[in-house]
Amino acid sequence: MTTTELPLVPHWIDGAPYPSAGGRTADVYDPALGIVTKRVALADATEIAAAIASARKAQEQWAELSLARRQSVLFRFRELLEARKPELAEIITAEHGKVLSDALGEISRGQEVVEFACGLAHHLKGEFSEQVSAGVDVHSVRQPLGVVGVISPFNFPAMVPAWFFPIAIAAGNAVVLKPSEKDPSAAIWMAELWREAGLPGGVFTVLNGDKEAVDGLLAHPDVAAISFVGSTPIAKYVYETGAKYGKRVQALGGAKNHMLVLPDADLDLTADAAINAGFGSAGERCMAISVAVVVEPVADALVEKITERMSALRIGDGRRGCDMGPLVTRTHRDKVASYLDIAAEDGATIVVDGRSVRPDGAPEGFWLGPSLIDRVPTGSRVYTEEIFGPVLAVVRVNSYEEGVELINAGSFGNGTAIFTNDGGAARRFQREIKVGMIGVNVPIPVPVATFSFGGWKESMFGDTKAHGAEGVKFFTALKAVTTRWTDPGERATVAASAQGGGINLGFPQND
């Protein structure tokens, strides 16, 4: 089959597929097979304008519907997603490569936010103060922003968009989603599900594309806010550019997540956690543990236990019941593998080299097995850079204090974990560590939907985090209303006073 004969992933505009008019496209791969399986349209200026115009028109009508009507669509979407999420998991595995069980887990975590949004009427309630001055009351309301853009990464094509769009839509906004061009089909599937749930056309739009689409959303005057997840350099660009155009922006960047292991930790539990958090989804998670900071004298024992568990992992096609799949592209696979050469050059010890893996899958797939590197120097790029692959580094320290100082000195501040049986040490750690999300004997501390997701430092740009109460604040504008209603007798008194003393031009006083 030639490239021109491959299926085309279209845009989704005004509630229907919107094929590209013969413009630019990009290849979409099946990472486990190493072949192009479809193409995706890349939006041009005309398509960007059409998407935003449709969203703006639809939003005005959607916001006028009652909360009860909007909530009924959210409930229907939730039920359809629950019934059909195995379909979505297969799409994710075919384009991203993660195993089916992991894809299902991703969808379930996104579904938590849908369920949170189903009760958004409670979170949209304003406040009321009576008689703040004589005959004066004040109340507040939260209203939708208008059209909002969501720019999501390749590693979670369902969960990350679902951090944002359920709350935005429930609050009365219209969403233009720009998914990763590496795995765009999940977004189209969700758009079809929204239509089936009864969402009016234009309220949920999918605009496929690359930098041109991103810049179009950032610059367009009808887009009020941008939610972004991706690498730190691009997050910073999105934040700065969006701010220049007067937009509200939340831009979640990269990470270098540490696991601090104290000598009293349960090493079997810790080794299991390191395997799960380091190699799940081929390490392509912003919350992956990429560095184990081990307080001596337990590093040798922990490295041995991790190595034993790694030997039992089955690497291969995610549709074959394997533990870990391929990386998303050949280019990314080669970049991640290059860090093993860097580690050797910097004097680290390569305990397990994933380049020698024998996968249960097509030889042409983008394979790299889990890799374990011990005694990594903290000046090495293996330690300082976000690798975003199945590479776990071990750094040895002599004390709790040394470990905390090392973690806090890093430029990222997304998530971290401590493994210990000492409650006092755990409490001290969660107070002293400078990151946004902390796990205590929990390796991937992603909060549930009722709390908010987001890091500190170079891992987060903007002051409002994802989902939870923070998400409600981000997707709504707060309005305060001050009212005075006078009875007929009071109006007569006020009128008589004005005739005798003139009009008072002073600043209003609270009586």
pLDDT for 35-90, tens place per residue?
A: 999 999 999 999 999 999 999 999 999 999 999 999 999 999 999 999 999 999 99
CB neighbour list of residue 129: distance below 8 Å, 6 or more residues apart: 137, 138, 139
- pLDDT grade, residue 3 (50/70/90)? low
Active site residue 118: no
What was the pLDDT predicted at 509?
73
pLDDT in tens, 307-364: 999 999 999 999 999 999 999 999 999 999 999 999 999 999 999 999 999 999 999 9
Report in angstroms the alpha-carbon separations of 458 from 52, 235, 351, 408: 30, 9, 30, 12
Quick one: pLDDT band at residue 231, thresholds 50, 70, 90? very high
* Whether 359 contacts 340, CB under 8 Å: no
**pTM for the complete prediction?**
0.95
The reported pLDDT for the residue numbered 427 is 98
Q: Give the pLDDT confidence score for residue 347 in this predicted structure.
A: 98
Task: Flag whether pLDDT at 20 surpasses 90.
Answer: no
Q: Does residue 14 surpass a pLDDT of 90?
A: yes
Residue 505 has what pLDDT?
76
Question: Stretch 222-234: mean pLDDT, rounded?
Answer: 98
Nearest residue to 329 (alpha-carbon basis) of 176, 488, 182, 231: 182
The dihedral of CA 487, 488, 491, 496: what is its sign?
A: negative
Check residue 283 and give its pLDDT.
97
Q: Which two tokens stand for residue 176?
A: 């233009």
**pLDDT category of residue 5 using cuts at 50, 70 and 90:** confident
pLDDT higher than threshold 90 for residue 496: no
Work out the mean pLDDT of the chain and round it to a whole number: 95
Per residue in 272-319, pLDDT (tens digit) is 999 999 999 999 999 999 999 999 999 999 999 999 999 999 999 999
User: Domains in the chain, please, with CATH?
Assistant: 8-254+461-476 (3.40.605.10), 257-411+415-449 (3.40.309.10)
Q: Where does the pLDDT of residue 495 fall: very low under 50, low under 70, confident under 90, or very high at 90 and above?
A: low
**Identity of the amino acid at 323:** D
In the prediction, which pLDDT does 439 show?
A: 97
Q: What is the arithmetic mean of pLDDT over 389-415?
A: 97
3-state secondary structure of 362: coil
Q: Pick the catalytic residue: 286, 392, 435, 449?
A: 286
Helices (H), 97-206: 100-118, 120-123, 159-170, 185-197
479: three-class secondary structure by DSSP:
strand
Which distant-in-sequence residues (6+ apart) come within 8 Å of 60 by Cβ? none
Please tell me the predicted confidence (pLDDT) of residue 502: 64
Of 257, 206, 262, residue with least CA distance to 401? 262
Sequence-separated (6 or more) residues with CB below 8 Å from residue 236: 251, 253, 458, 461
pLDDT reading at 489 higher than 80: no
Give tens-digit pLDDT for 135-190. 899 999 999 999 999 999 999 999 999 999 999 999 999 999 999 999 999 999 99
Is the pLDDT score of 491 beyond 80?
Answer: no
The pLDDT, as a whole number, for residue 9 is: 97
How far is residue 385's CA from residue 345's CA, in Å, rounded to a whole number?
Answer: 16
The pLDDT assigned to 486 comes to 81
DSSP H or E stretch at residue 126: none
